[in-house]
Amino acid sequence: MSKTDKTTPVNQAPTADGGESGKSSNSGSAVSYDAHAVAAGAEAAGADAAGADAAQNPSDLHSSGSTPPAAERGVSRRGLIGGALAGVGLVGVAAGSGVTAAVLNNRSASPAPGSGSGFGSGQPFGKETISCHGKHQAGVATAVTAHSRYLAFNLSDSTNADAIRRMLTVLTADIESLTSGQGPIADSEPELAENPARLTVTVGFGPELVNRVNPAARPDWLGPLPRFNRDQLGAGYDDGDLLIAIASDDPLTVAHAARMLSKSLRSFASLVWRQDGFRRAHGSEPDGATMRNLMGQVDGTVNPRPNDDDYSDLVWLQKSAGWLAGGSAMVFRRIRMELDTWDQVDKPGRENSIGRDIAVGAPLTGTKEFDEPDFTAKNELGLPIIHAASHIARARSSDPNERIYRRVYNYDDSTDQGLLFICYQRNPLEQFVPIQRRLDQLDLLNTWITHTGSAVFAIPPGWEPGGMLGETLFAS
Ligand code: HEM
């Protein structure tokens, strides 16, 4: 069911509504994250961060709220069973004695219909927060959550520099409220804000917004990317003056935040496109596991980690970037997948096209996900085991500076399915573009993928309590 017709762009369907010094300033949260601490375990912390400080690893925090794992606490198996039974006692009122039996048999049990309560193994994670304050905006290096929504707006003609400042003041207050679990001032359903579930809102500026404040402050990379031969853009997912990237482990939270922020922006800008993304549900696999895309591949293995020494130089703009110091450059590409024809490819064909196996994501020359690929290894016929035109062979660069931080999501719309390829870097012209040029020229994956949307945004640095998102632009 690979459909090549395009989703209706939002501007044709106006009803579609749409840290290093990070401190937790959030109140009323059972568990709150410092953006910096979360960064240390973001994305596939798995193998790389196995030895990392447990206090900085969000997967540890998630598995048991703020309590260390049972083994570390010296809790006995008997203690765990006792605790589980104590919990069952509560649920058992609604679900009946079958629940207890199921737990003892180590089987999962369903809540009684209408009991209003799930029976998961973990604690509810709705109260978990990621601070929006800090040197960097949250949502770039902080833990990746299960759901995301991207809203791109164009500024109204009357939104001049003064209005942009007012707009950013409102956005700042909204983001501070929403990410700490409180409804913004104009929220008529503040109950929907009560479970942020690690909500982050990352704001990006398009070229027009920067031009309206100070054209001299616009970096040369902030504009449409050079055109690539295989691009099929113009489907309604390109560019924009302002990007609001919302992410949380709870889709209701995402929808509510999107509605609140859209409401605040109404008098300043209008929505031009919207795109939702998802990964596996929070808790369905250990936090930090590398995600799988809709082609079934493990996607995100070779990726700079926020706690790597060179992450900062690759991703965060430095002092020389002036108002953007502490910020980053985001590239957004909507990439359609032809899943119907991909279905027809046998396993060796699928694995050759990427250069890795499907089961665990190991390179074809290795056995484990994080094994280093050997691009020189040959098979018994003397042919390279990892095809020279495979995706990993073409995407890899010999220049260590020509790397990007990928933070991708799946999408599954009524018209098509694919990947929201989002990456962060200092300069897209020196990092994303050369990689994409190689892939555009030759990549075995190209038979099944097409880029249908493209945008670049400047991600301003973060802000501290009392400050304003994007304030450095006004001082530029
Ligand atoms: C739908 C499109 C795409 C799919 C399905 C896809 C999938 C994958 C997969 C499965 C891997 C191997 C595991 C890993 O290291 O993450 C990979 C690696 C990689 N991809 Fe993609 N990718 C896509 C598009 C892109 C694009 C547009 C770029 C950048 C322009 C890119 C850059 C990379 C890089 C840099 C690597 C790591 C290569 C290395 O081993 O050094 N990918 N991708």
For 244-270, the pLDDT digits (tens) are 999 999 999 999 999 999 999 999 999
The CA 304 to ligand 1 mean position distance, Å, reads 13
Report the candidate in 174, 146, 173 with the shortest Cα–Cα distance to residue 252: 146
Task: Tell me the whole-structure pTM to 2 decimals.
Answer: 0.80
Which atom of ligand 1 has the smallest separation from the CA of 392? Answer: 38
The CA 303 to ligand 1 mean position distance, Å, reads 9
Lowest mean pLDDT among 58-67, 177-186, 376-385, 458-467: 58-67
Give me the pLDDT at residue 130, please.
98
Confidence band, pLDDT 50/70/90 cuts, at residue 24 = very low
- More confident call, 120 vs 456: 456
Report the candidate in 316, 344, 341, 342 with the shortest Cα–Cα distance to residue 330: 316
pLDDT at 238 over 70: yes
Give me the pLDDT at residue 123, please.
82
Give me the pLDDT at residue 287, please.
80
Ligand 1: residue whose CA is nearest its atom 25: 421
Ligand 1: residue whose CA is nearest its atom 18: 392
pLDDT at 435 over 70: yes
Give me the pLDDT at residue 186, please.
85
Confidence band, pLDDT 50/70/90 cuts, at residue 48 = very low
Confidence band, pLDDT 50/70/90 cuts, at residue 322 = very high
Ligand 1 close to Cβ of residue 420 (< 6 A): no
Q: Where does residue 321 fall: left (phi above 0), alpha (psi -120 to 50 degrees), or beta otherwise?
A: alpha
Give me the pLDDT at residue 15, please.
29
The CA 405 to ligand 1 mean position distance, Å, reads 11
pLDDT at 391 over 60: yes
Ligand 1: residue whose CA is nearest its atom 16: 300
Return d(Cα 138, Cα 4) in angstroms, integer. Answer: 35
Q: SS3 letters for 143-186?
A: CCCCEEEEEEEEECCCCCHHHHHHHHHHHHHHHHHHHCCCCCCC
The CA 434 to ligand 1 mean position distance, Å, reads 14
Cβ count within 10 A of residue 270: 16
Sequence spans of domains, the chain: 10-42+126-474
Return d(Cα 220, Cα 323) in angstroms, integer. Answer: 14
Give me the pLDDT at residue 46, please.
35
Ligand 1 close to Cβ of residue 394 (< 6 A): no
Give me the pLDDT at residue 157, please.
98
Question: Are the beta carbons of 35 and 180 closer than 8 angstroms?
Answer: no
Ligand 1 close to Cβ of residue 435 (< 6 A): yes
Ligand 1: residue whose CA is nearest its atom 36: 395
The CA 299 to ligand 1 mean position distance, Å, reads 7
Ligand 1 close to Cβ of residue 331 (< 6 A): no
Question: Are the beta carbons of 34 and 19 closer than 8 angstroms?
Answer: yes
Lowest mean pLDDT among 20-34, 155-169, 292-306: 20-34
pLDDT at 298 over 70: yes
Q: Which amino acid is at 250?
A: D
Ligand 1 close to Cβ of residue 451 (< 6 A): no
Confidence band, pLDDT 50/70/90 cuts, at residue 120 = low
The CA 392 to ligand 1 mean position distance, Å, reads 6
Q: Which of 230, 302, 430 to mutate to test the pocket of ligand 1 (most atoms within 8 A of CB)?
A: 302
Question: Are the beta carbons of 355 and 387 closer than 8 angstroms?
Answer: yes
Average pLDDT, the chain: 81
Ligand 1: residue whose CA is nearest its atom 27: 436
